Structure 1
């Protein structure tokens, strides 16, 4: 196969993955001199008209979705009798492979991944495409320009809104991830079936398990329904909030699920950001003395009554490891050295396998100082000697718990910064975080940039008439549509100002990218409003103002309050804000000067001149309607594009297709 050329153009090099419909090969596009991935239908399927239809439908489904989080298709054709699909080449691994290594992921790590998957699904559903086989093996974690980008793969089972050939009872997909209506073989599936599958993926990623045992699938298929295992019973730190989330995500009745992938991602992000309430410090006491539990409960009676401490007990190291598995939120282990079955030193060596963050205090007699030194060298946080001085024990516990709390706060801060990067450009985050070490005003600079204000139209009355929770949910639903469009075109979310979002675009083509992002956000909101009807959260529309020019960029704030923001200032910001305030619903207003710069690229319509506070004379303003279609004839040279250099090491190490 290494010498074979597909379609007279693609030089096949080697197989890089398998699949249900065919294998995936690394190939060289000899015309454009770039490496690509080619999916070739298996020869034993070529004679099946149904398989050929599904293979062609996969190409059509992908081609509909020009989204950065969907695997992009370059070409489709038939070589001899064998159909093939040519796609971009990805470097990284699928989520299934990651889970096989890590079992489960922390919520703060999952949130940005879910946000990207939601963008892809939202684009698919708006385009009338239902995936039908969403699972970890079809979610690829690609490494692109040093960042992790989620790509949704394998639309081989996708339904298109024009497809009327799916018979009732058609049973295709991976059962453990299939919605109840898909298990029943219903032909009138809608996007909420994919949302169920996404809920199963999310449950497994967070807990390492499936929400329903295998024997519950028959109940789901028969329409009897089933209740998912509480996520908090598998991973206690997830809490009741996660249980409520999954009760909705995995509701048997589609109408009771989340309405969109964006809504699901927003709800999960809110759950993560909210965090868990303060809890009692959990201490595992490991000692084979039969009266140890009674003594500890008597000595710490007040702390137990006030929920300052919570004790759990084990008689030896083996039992302690099992207790740690049952209580992953344990803060401190207080362990004797000499115990039957597994002693304290052996436990100390193995505790990191179960709980790498827990702190261990070793207890032993004065005569056992050599073992205590060994324990300290192996990572024990502190030690105590018998007979125990309980004042010393209390002080040691307080010191150890304080340190454990600092570690947890550091991790929580890292998680929050990861969440911040979901909505704000990473460079801004790093500069804000480093600003506390830099005197105010030192890091200022003048930059050329474009500023966009996108204001949700007429939202103020909602804040008066609706309940706070309802109003905020409605506003955030709009932001969840707007923000991904800004980020996907290189925008940086500078701030949220009431019911408006301000974004800054810098670098090559910043004006065009800003206008494209605003037009796309407007179109997405219109489409969501059309599908949702008059009661939809998206019916407000947006008022948009865009301005471009020189800005002052730097850190502002009050160090005494620990509040520093990295932002931009100047007339450009003021002009964009005023244009947004003067725009009508779904208008994108720009100045005459900016229109002159972009006239050949965008179609604009002049509006009534407006008086801006900073200008003596009225300003001519224009509404940007759309990007002009630019047709390039084959004889015309196109812009030169530098192709990325990519390694040929495994790019799509997707697990073989599993229909379990």
Structure 2
């Protein structure tokens, strides 16, 4: 039977795959005499202008990036009204098929995947491209002469930087949803695409590959969306698997709901995972520095005999200068055991240089009994311990055990900054900034500021709290706060406090009013998007009521010194006005006073909101609504993905 020719040169041979967007064929390029893969648009989609646009977008998006870990596009055309994409032909299987077959992968295999996928994502990010549908089915494990190589597939709903501005309401592709189980909180909310969204998806892929489970695995798509935005995920350690220690901390960061707390690049994520794998398998690394020619042989023979206690990797250097080179070559050296008297650079000089190269390593000095003066000098300069020549190997091992214990403790202290980030979750950002700038005494000080104050209130939450069980009511409120707070912070706002069912944020500094307006618009857009996607019974269906006011405020430390209860907040008419405007607002409204309309510099539209009873026991006053043309997202499809 004669092969079907498309585009005047590609002879179709056999169908090798299909999905919602198209059918993939193996074909023969009659012009260049090579085998290729051709993705043809599915017949049922040809009549759709939007489907054709997305199909063409996939070709142009991939063509912008030439990278070994992104599938390459050779050609694009239309044959008898049906678009097609010509790509390199890959032999192998996708990661989804692999995981369904083997369920889990060892950490070393996951690290290899992360390195290759991460390299491809970094290349896409550098070109201004966000994939938005990264999942195992779109990760292909291509067989080649050297083994397997990862290829990222299907940029059909990819987003490029030139598609939209920084305005969330201008996002042109809200109809393009992705695969919920691998989507970040900001993606399901309809936020402007960002490369960190793809890194969340990469974190989900790693989690599933290691544990055999998804971090958020509800079968109901609407409930899954709410869970991604609101709920914690099971820690890998809870599955009782043989996994590298430290994975819980890794995934707390990789899957942080606030994207500013995540790894900020694929390279950073991969490096952190690689460090975990290394820590799980590495032996303590000891650098011995001595110019005696037989010292290496003696130590090798001694530790070789003790195979049951071979916990050390040995590195050798003949003098201090060579030792510095080895420290740079091996940044994970734990202990330096150095002789005092050596040519070129002796032990005392090396002792002073070690902290410059490796501040976590500890130095043990070796010398003879008759050199106690130098030993005392070394101890005064920071040596951790000393050994006497000739070395007693039992004493050496005891000293190494003690020193390594100290090194590990030192490493834990060095990681304390990361652990102290927990403080920020439970302490007002205003207090932290005040302490950073002025010290503890500065919290009680006060100053006048020009600022914009925003109150974002969850509509009718009082009724929710009255009608629902406490845990369910709290989940509704926190689900909304998980959307609201990141958008306020993204525009430089400081969340001053949570007042019942409202968030109070303060914006000051350059363009504080415009940044506050932008934050409010973003909050409203994302709440409305996720409410439509998650359904009428979701926590987001209540809507938010927003009040905004600008002017002079008093920033001050308030509270009781006697009881040790102090806070740092802002006071003034703008605070009261924003709170009352939020109470007067209807769901979805952002209410402001006339002064805000006059001072706003950005292209923000206002319309008269009528006369409202804003201030208690006062006459109704005119208010204004912040409005903008915002495309509504389509209803959520029943299928968990709308792009293949």
Which category of TM-score, normalised to the shorter sequence, fits these structures?
A: 0.3 to 0.5
Instruction: Give the alignment's TM-score, normalised by structure 2.
Output: 0.45
Output the TM-score relative to the length of structure 1: 0.44
